[in-house]
Structures are given as structure tokens and as C-alpha cells.
Amino acid sequence: MSAKRRAKRVDLAGVAVITGAGSGIGRATAFELARHGATVHLADISGPAVEAVVGGIRAAGGSARAHEVDVTDSHALEALAARVYEADGGVDVLHNNAGIGFSGPIEQTSVEDWRRIVEINLMGVVHGITAFVPRMLEQRRPSHIVNTASGLGLIPAIQLAPYCATKHAVVGMSQSLDLELSPRGIGVTALCPGIIATGIVKHSTVRDESGLRKQKAVDFYERRGASPEAVAEAAVNAIRKRRSIQVVPAMHVYPAWIAGRISTRAGAVAARLADRLMWRGE
Ligand code: NAI
């Protein structure tokens, strides 16, 4: 590799900041980047959860620091960025990952439900961007932002309109930012996982009359979900290859995504099939 290309590479052994790092995909990315030698700053709304991840990384010989942060609070993200820059002087990888799920019939979805998911899944990413990007532009080294969107940022899904709205927004935002920022040294990836076996469904509101839907979804994610470690590896790969969209696992997302790009009707058929598979176990 030429010296010029090497100089443009993001240092995976540098400094990383990950939100929603107390569980699931964020936790797995924290371990993966620490394994590459990064000093990882881990933020989560749950202090004890993120402390436990920090403990695990340190026990494995890595360098990690916990921060109790609610991503809906722009001031808290700003304070986090100030702390990280004071401690380590730069950020090589920012992973805006914290998020929640929400599912339910639209007539049972209140304005408060919409606001909550938009505040966490969309504004949480926005707050990460506004706090860190000005500082990342000032530092004289290349860096990368991974925004966790979802396969549902590329395709539609039934009873998931608020979630899909936030994740489609994160994909559009990430692609636009990648175009704007990559010539200035910051690559941006929209990470689009399919079904991943994490705590997401357990931590989510699933509204239904029968009360059975949530348990069905928990079982489905445990049975069919890919590992969060596979997502973490894909995220690191996306940073290395400077991909603006990273789907993982490919088979969970590509068929419906491609169907939808060929024709809206084909995409709708794929979305209905996915819904049947998930809720009725067909
Ligand atoms: P998870 O529930 O295991 O982890 C999410 C973490 O985010 C938790 O530790 C939680 O405490 C934290 N969090 C929630 N609200 C927060 C807030 N306001 N401020 C700071 N931290 C907060 O879920 P998972 O699956 O690891 O989710 C991570 C991201 O991946 C989310 O954005 C989710 O939408 C996305 N995703 C997950 C998929 C899956 O199948 N598990 C599929 C596609 C995307």
C-alpha cells in the first residue's frame, strides 16, 4: 500500500466512542475495537450496564472508560465529546448506535410514542454528529462515523412505521454526510443489520391486544438472529473499506431490498412475507 493511502486509513487502534454500548451491537463493537487496540469510550443510558462492559474489556487487557449518557440530551453528548477530547485529544471512530424498537398498530401509536423513538433513534444520532463532527474536522487525521440504522432503513415493515421512519432517516442522513464529509477526511457508514440476537425486543414496546406478540418476537430473534459479534465485524470492515452502507447479514436484507428496488410491489410482497414469518412463525 502506498504511503498516501496508508495516511488516509482510519486508525482502528486509536480512540473510539460508542453509544448504546451497554448491550447488544454496541457492546460487541466495543469489544471488537478494543481487540484492535483502540481506547474505547463507552456511553449508555444504563451506567451499570456500561460499567460491566468496561470491566470485561479491562479484564481482557483493553483500555475502556464508561460514560452514563442519555443520547436524547444534546448537552450530555456535548459534555461527552469535551471529556473524550480532553482525555485523548481526538476520535478515530464514532459509533452512534444507541436505539430502541417499537412495534404496534398505528391507531394505538401515540404522538408520545413517535416522539420517543424519534428522540432516541434519530435525534440521538444527530446529537452525536453535532457534538463530535466539528472536533473531528479540526483534528489532523482521518476518522470514521458509523451510524447504526437497520435493514428497516432500506425496506418497509408492517406495524413498524415509527421505527422505519427513524431508520430510513438515519440512512439518508448518513449517505448525505458521507458525500459531504469524506472529501474532508471523515467517512460515514449507515450500518444496516437484519435480525440480530440482542436485548432489543426485550427492551422495546410491543403493543398488541393478545400480549403474545412480544414473546413471539423475543423467541424469533433468539432463534433466527445473527450474533452481534458478526455485526461488529461488519462495522469494522465497513470502516476499512469506507462503505457508505453496510448490510449484515446479507441474506436478511438484500432479497427484500433488491425486490423493492426492482418494483415497489415486489418490495411490498417481500415485506408481507417477512411479517408472516416473524409473527406467525410460518
Ligand atoms: P440492545 O437493546 O441490546 O442495546 C441498545 C443499547 O442502547 C442498550 O444498552 C440501551 O441501554 C441503550 N440505550 C437505549 N436508549 C438510550 C439512550 N436514550 N441513551 C443512551 N443509550 C441508550 O439493542 P441492539 O440490538 O444492540 O440495538 C443497537 C442498535 O442496533 C439500535 O439502534 C437498533 O435499532 C439497531 N438495530 C438492531 C437490530 C436487531 O435485530 N437487534 C437490527 C437492526 C438495527
For the segment 147-178, what is each residue's pLDDT rounded down to a tens digit? 999 999 999 999 999 999 999 999 999 999 99
Q: What is the pLDDT of residue 39?
A: 98
Q: What is the pLDDT of residue 152?
A: 98
Q: How far apart are CA 58 and CA 40, in angstroms?
A: 10
Residue nearest atom 32 of ligand 1, based on CA coordinates: 99
| Helix runs in the chain, H state only | 3-8, 24-35, 47-59, 74-88, 111-117, 123-138, 161-181, 213-224, 228-241, 250-262, 264-280
Q: What is the pLDDT of residue 282?
A: 46
Q: Which of 233, 135, 148 is nearest to 185 (CA)?
A: 135
Mean pLDDT across 192-209:
93
Q: How far apart are CA 65 and CA 57, in angstroms?
A: 10
List, chain by chain if needed, residues with CB within 6 Å of any ligand 1 atom: 19-20, 22-26, 44-46, 49, 69-72, 97-100, 120, 124, 148, 150, 193, 195-196, 198-200, 203
- Confidence grade of residue 211 (pLDDT, cut at 50, 70, 90): confident
Q: What is the pLDDT of residue 208?
A: 86
- What mean pLDDT value characterizes the chain? 95
pTM higher than 0.75 for the full model? yes
Above 50 in pLDDT, residue 185? yes
- With a pLDDT cut of 90, the percent of the chain lying above it is 90
- Confidence grade of residue 2 (pLDDT, cut at 50, 70, 90): low
Burial class (CB in 10 A: 0-12, 13-18, 19+), 38: buried
